[in-house]
Chains A and B, each alone.
Chain A
């Protein structure tokens, strides 16, 4: 490839700015929920559209009764650097979660409920997965008001149409 061609390729890549982030949240451990929310919010802050599809355990993050009680996993999580047996002791998850929440508050990271409000105010779209709702016997009223609707995976893919859309499974 000559220099001119390389420059042209570089220009094309530069022009391909991310337009839309479609995030799928399938887990309810607090670290996964925050990763998803920070990615969605970060996209909005850059002028990128953001939508989240809450499915399976991810639905816990938008259930009124559960969203403030999410935990970090202390068992089966090698990044905790504590023996698995200790991680399984009663109160261990709550202890680790409280530590994490304190650190996050220091960094101005909002609690889950407030984060959902911020996302909605920022123009991010939040969707609940119909299949998972049926599976867990959940009703629309069980979810926070910020959820736009209960939709199928097909509906979600329809919304992903357009150039420079990225899908991310968390």
Chain B
């Protein structure tokens, strides 16, 4: 046996062993979670009737609240849209600064950590802080979305910029292109489709996530979700659910079409 064969055999053995360890670890975690949360399967079985009654109260949906629910959904849409646009502006600046190929390590490394930290803070928490800072209404929602999604968007932008092959820009340098010309004719055509795709993806996430903003007073449809469910008006909640589902599916369809066109 050559040394290469021996090494590849060793590697294979390590791979087999690590696969087994992953399986065992996942198994232990599941058992731990099950025991710790003290789930009573009997209760789930008994509650069948209650779930039926509960669903029954959602039917028929109360369509009288339709205008209100549509208004609320539109407000959510506007919050997500403005928040995303604000995040694009922030991310363009931070994305360029966080790109390994553009700035020295003492700038791009701390920035990447900062973006990771921003991503780690849940939106609902950011929204609560923003409500505290600027008061109730759509504004704190917009600010929360802008802040929260910049953590992801700026990272995506930085990665797109890092993916630009250095040679392509050197060629423009050699032709005597200015810095702005290099950006316009070199970097932009190379990364524009990626940026648009990433941004649409984030916009879709922002729409979904901003549905809950109203729970903490940061505007949009979430306010009505809370109101109808807490006051047991399930027929109204049913109308709301239908509108939200249609709304989210529509946005997804539009995104899908645009993304397909970008290929």
A pairs with B:
no
Residues of B within 8 A of A (CB): none
Residues of A within 8 A of B (CB): none
